[in-house]
A and B are shown apart, each in its own frame.
Chain A
Amino acid sequence: MKKSLFLSLLSLLLVLAACSGSGGSDEEVASDVDLPEGTTEVTMWNLFGGGDAEFMQEIVDDFNESQDDYYINNVMQEFDEYYTKLLTSIGSGQGPDLAISHSHVLPELVNQGLVVDMTDIASEVGVNWDEFNQNILDATVYDDQHFAIPIDTHAQIMYVNNELVDEAGLMNDDGTIQMEESPEGYIEFFKTLDENLPDEIIPFTFSSTGGDPYWLWWGMYSQLGGEHILTEGDLENPTYDIDLDKAIKAAEFVKSLYHEHEIVPLNIQDFVSEFQSGNAATTTTGVWTTGLLETTEDLDFTPMPIPNVFGEKAAWASSHTLVLPYYDDADAEVQKGAVEFMKFATDNGAMWAEAGHIPAKDSVVESEEFQELPYRSEYAQVADYVNFVDRNVYARGIEEIITRNLDSIWAGEVEVEEAFSSIESEITDLIE
């Protein structure tokens, strides 16, 4: 009897020992790499997947090889949970030393005091703000303080299949498309594609739910002169400030692509792959698709900015930025290493541009290295005029509200006016 009790207690001890053993392994991962004496390790979290992740890893590897003072430990995180994890882990002092954030999530980080104003460290490291594109840089500056260093802007652009557009007789000799820059001209272009190409070719392959049509709506709204949904200034207490007539006009226009003119077939499951496989003459999506399309065999395409339909150049865009999380007991050396990496990554923006993004530094865009990359220079100029979403702590919630209501418009289930009145009531409810 006693012996078996002893045995069970022993097994309990073994179990406990096993548990504590696995608990400690988390920290061991970091020191898996043999760091030379005197090297400071900087842990970075990123949210990238696919091609983006590979190019970022290349930049990190290059940085680590370029000097001996710092070692960037690049940790990939699942995108879906990224911001939940980032916000909570920085809040509890367990987060990374360096992190990626989209420009529209910055207000949340800044407002909660989760990121450091790096104006001073940046000047110590020698970051030259004048080299950056002003429009992109502005999205990271709060009250004259630099809370992030942007590495790119990624805008919504248009892609055309050269062979198909040429076959339809809409390609100029210089490779530009024959489209009159007006609402009628835009529609006419796709209708002509539809008429002149075989039946199974889609004139404009596009999503009818989620981000993509929301971005197109935002681009058209901005082209009409709409600037905001909420007032900017106070991050926590904005007021609802949509230009309703323009918002409705833009939504009616996008809706007509699906319904009245039947240019975009509804509910295509994977619209990019239709373009990739040559089943569609054009598509419209984010610049990151360039990296995917250029590796597709037998696809002859040209990227170009979204046509100026309503008279004012504009498009949707976001920006990847690098931030320095705030900790009470932050190590100055680690912070300096993090900013050194930020400088390196932006100086080598041409590497990042391989993923399709537009580098944040004008000096990089003008560099020979960037100009030699195919496709990218066709659309790099949009960085000057893209309209970023409003700056406030509710940006992610607002995106959810707007896309859900716009989806109902595209599906033909509610009238445009109706959708915007529920957008108004939901957003006012969210920000009150």
Chain B
Amino acid sequence: MNSKKKAWMQDLRALPFLLPFFIAYLIFTIFPIFKGLEMSLYEWNLVRKLEFVGLENYTEMFQDEFFWDSLWNTTLFVILTTPTMVALALVLALLANLNTKLQTFFRGSFFLPSILSVAVISFLAIFMLQPYNGLVNTVLQLVGINAEPFWMADKTLAWVTIVVVTLWWTVGFNMVLFLAGLQDIPESLYEASEIDGATRWEQFRYITLPQLIPIGRVILLLQILASYKVFAQILLITGGGPGGATRPLIQYIYEVGFTKNNLGYAATMSYALFFILLVLSIIQLRSQRSEGK
């Protein structure tokens, strides 16, 4: 009884510290979520609510080819970046975990891009990739490749650019997660396997990899969720172009809401994205739980 009361007092003491954030969370996150749901059922412009249209915005969405195009662009981005990101982060983490003199250098330089803002990394990319006098094309021409690839204006190359820039920018964070996972693996496992005569490869295959699966799953989930929300670097580097070929869903939502003045429909599409993310998270959590058993 006494201990229960004690625990309750303990909780109560946390309350004043939690409350300020909770209030802000309520006002700026929870409330807008429900407000957004309401908006998606109305014709609603920047200034005021116009009329109740029920599910009309939702039927419009299913018939809107630009919604599907931009949803596909976002999905393509997820498909392209997620596996490469996980693999690259793992490789870099292994490199950074090697007990060499370069360890600190590796860790620092792999993580460095993550601390830069999206505007900085986008403009760095633009300066390096711009045609005629950008670094990349100049180097290509110096080594004798006589071409002028348009890294940001060609449909296919624009995707290559966006994916590579995103990898370079965000891989450091995932590397740190893997690195933490690597350091959690008990040294005794490696010692035991060594006594049993395991090779380096076998140690990696049967100890390191299996031990990294839980953290790998976290990275996968975070990565998919983050990639579905891709927006800023695409807007800054290609502007969604050429001709909308790289326009992600969030950019389309933004344009519909704020330049075409149709917040109701923009809210509807945001809900579609929310639903997709929700389903993905549930699948992920389910598979994690069944694995745990």
Contact = CB atoms under 8 A, between A and B. Distances in A.
A404 B15 CA distance: 52
Given A84-B46, A209-B239, A11 B260 contact: no
Contacts of A330: none
Given A11-B16, A209-B242, A88 B260 contact: no
A413 B243 contact: yes
Contacts of B261: 108, 393, 396-397
A112 interface: yes
A201 to B, nearest CB: 13
Interface residues of B, number: 33
A281 to B, nearest CB: 16
A169 to B, nearest CB: 26
Given A88-B47, A208-B153, A269-B134, A404 B243 contact: yes
Contacts of A108: 261
Nearest to B131: A267
A91 B47 contact: yes
Contacts, number: 90
A208 B241 CA distance: 12
A105 to B, nearest CB: 11
A91 B19 CA distance: 32
Interface in B234-293: 239-245, 255, 258-261
A1 B259 contact: no
A246 to B, nearest CB: 22
Contacts of B255: 400
| Most chain A CB within a 10 A radius of its CB, from B15, B20, B240, B242 | B242
A112 B47 contact: yes
A411 interface: yes
B46 A405 contact: no
Interface in A78-94: 84, 87-88, 90-91
A35 interface: no
A91 B258 contact: no
Interface in B1-46: 9, 12-13, 15-17, 19-20, 45-46
B153 A411 contact: yes
A119 interface: no
Given A15-B20, A266-B153, A397-B260, A210 B12 contact: no
A411 B16 contact: no
Interface in B120-147: 126, 130-132, 134
Contact of B244 (A4, A394, A404, A430): A404
Q: At the interface, is chain A mostly helix, strand, loop or mixed?
A: helix
A268 interface: yes
Interface residues of A, number: 41
A12 B15 CA distance: 9
A4 B131 CA distance: 64
B242 A408 contact: yes
A170 interface: no
Contacts of A33: none
Interface string B88-101: 00000000000000
B48 interface: yes
Interface of A: 1, 4-5, 8-9, 11-12, 15-16, 19, 84, 87-88, 90-91, 108, 112, 114, 208-210, 265-270, 393-394, 396-397, 399-400, 404-405, 407-408, 411, 413-414, 430
22 contacts: A5-B13, A8-B17, A12-B17, A84-B46, A87-B47, A88-B46, A88-B47, A90-B47, A108-B261, A114-B47, A209-B242, A267-B130, A268-B131, A269-B130, A269-B131, A396-B261, A399-B259, A400-B259, A404-B240, A404-B243, A404-B244, A413-B242
Interface of B: 9, 12-13, 15-17, 19-20, 45-48, 126, 130-132, 134, 150, 152-153, 155, 239-245, 255, 258-261
What 6 A-B pairs are tightest by C-beta distance, nearest first? A408-B243, A12-B16, A91-B47, A269-B130, A397-B260, A267-B153
